[in-house]
Amino acid sequence: MHIEVAIPTCCNDGKTIIYTLKGLIEQSYKDFSVLVVYKPTPEDRTLEAIRPFSEKLDIRVVEQDKGKIDEAMNIIFEKSDADLLLTTDDDEVPQVDWIKDHLNFHEKYPDAGALRGRVKRKASDASMRVRSSTLKQVAKKVIYTEYSKEFHEYNGYLTIFGLPTDRNNNMSPPRGGLMKTITLSYENSSFKRSVYKDFRVPSYSLRGFHSEDLISLHAIKKGFFTAEIDGGWTTELDREEFGTPGESLSTPSTMKGRIALVTEHFLFPYGAFLEGFKPRRLWLLKSLLSLGRDQVKREASMLGVSLADESISKKYSPSKVREELSLGLEKLYRKYSIT
């Protein structure tokens, strides 16, 4: 079986990706190759940092000349031809049995199209998730109805509004088993060739938020299930501790980043629609969002769902949606002096 590990990297300066590659050298399963999709930045030393690892790892580097994280992932899906494709970030360190765990679960569950491994996160990320999960559960039980019965067994599922959500943010797979979910993560996931090879991320977002959930929907439409496994651990590094500034795309530290994430979350119905899951009752979702107390977040969420609704009805292309998203966010930033 051909196994490949893909790593998109940008603005890293080679400072944390070396630990990712060291983790790959130490893997208990040795028969795999590495694909690095590298977007150059001025005076970046990533290639210089990667070069010494080619003595112990089968590495190839593909340069990304334009685009964002969505485009980087599409390069990976296009260039790889592995039977099993694993993805991770340039600030993740895979534990010794990372590849072995993913492979074992795929062999045990042939109908698993994509699997998410466990991540040991920075303390700040974990605490943020705990605080937010409690606040959201009541609303989810009332309004976040499953899109269809096929999501009944999923902890992370699709709602009638075309939004991805979790029944319980703190739920984990059973010991030695798995937990069905559509909420994957490119920082630690694996995909069967029959799932990823004919999938391309519709590049309508700016931060790539929830794009992993789109490949989950793609897998489900093809008759597979997607899940999180009890294993396949990686450890998330704190980029700032390595002198690599710049916030995470999925866990932003700035107000601008958080607002963008809220908007992209409520824009997801457009992505679900593109994958064949037409959202329902968006008028109701708009009404519910209009009742939000936080004015800025309320406007951000309304921007997202309104753009999704308009884009579906007017059949906007992903590039058109990205353009409108960028314009809408800039207008919101200026209105509230968000920097």
20 and 157 fall within a common domain: yes
Report yes or no on 247 lying in a domain.
Answer: no
Banded model confidence at residue 137, pLDDT cuts 50, 70, 90: low
* Confidence label for 245 from pLDDT (cuts 50, 70 and 90): low
The answer on pLDDT for 260 being more than 80 is: yes
Are residues 222 and 94 part of one domain? yes
170-181 pLDDT, tens digit per residue, is 899 999 999 999
Whole-number pLDDT of residue 130: 35
The string over 235-258, giving b where at least 16 C-beta atoms fall within 10 Å of a residue's C-beta and e elsewhere, is ebbebeebebeeebbbbbeeeebb
The answer as to whether 153 is a domain residue is yes
Strand partners, 117: none
Q: Please check whether residue 24 lies inside any domain of the structure.
A: yes
Per-residue pLDDT band at 66 (split at 50, 70, 90): very high
Asked if 85 and 29 sit in the same domain, the reply is yes
| Residue from 19, 43, 23 nearest 32 by CA | 23
Residue type, 333: Y
d(CA 227, CA 108): 13
Segment 14-39 shows an average pLDDT of: 97
Nearest to 25 by CA among 54, 62, 60, 61: 54
Q: State yes or no: pLDDT of 11 exceeds 90.
A: no
- Residue 271: how many other CB atoms lie within 10 Å: 27
Residue at a domain's end among 214, 242, 270: 242
Same domain assignment for residues 138 and 77: yes
280 CB contacts (<8 Å, ≥6 apart)? 160, 161, 162
pLDDT score recorded for residue 133: 40
pLDDT of 244 above 80? no
Domain around 271 = 255-335
Q: What is the 3-state secondary structure (H, E, C) of 245-281?
A: CCCCCCCCCCHHHHHHHHHHHHHHHHHHHHCCCCCCC
Same domain, 134 and 65: yes
Query: Does 271 lie in the same domain as 229?
Result: no
C-alpha neighbours within 13 Å on the C-beta side of residue 309: 14
In percent, how much of the chain has pLDDT > 90?
A: 84
Q: pLDDT tens digit string along 222-239?
A: 999 999 999 999 999 988
Say yes or no: 224 and 273 in one domain. Answer: no
Last residue of a domain, one of 188, 217, 242: 242
pLDDT at residue number 12: 86
How is the beta sheet containing 3-10 ordered, strand by strand? 59-63, 33-39, 3-10, 84-88, 188-192, 112-116, 225-229, 178-180
Q: How confident is the model at residue 76 (pLDDT cuts 50, 70, 90)?
A: very high
Count of the separate structural domains present in the chain: 2
Q: What is the mean pLDDT of the chain?
A: 92
> 209, 242, 275: which is the final residue of a domain?
242
Q: Flag whether pLDDT at 189 surpasses 90.
A: yes
Q: Does 248 map to a domain? A: no
204 and 317 housed in the same domain: no
Q: What is the DSSP string of 67-121?
A: --HHHHHHHHHHH---SEEEEE-TTEEE-TTHHHHHHHHHHH-TTEEEEE--EE-
Q: Return the CATH number at 106.
A: 3.90.550.10
Q: Tell me whether residue 250 is in a domain.
A: no
Residues 219 and 274 in one domain: no
Backbone angles phi, psi at 20, to 5 degrees: -60, -45
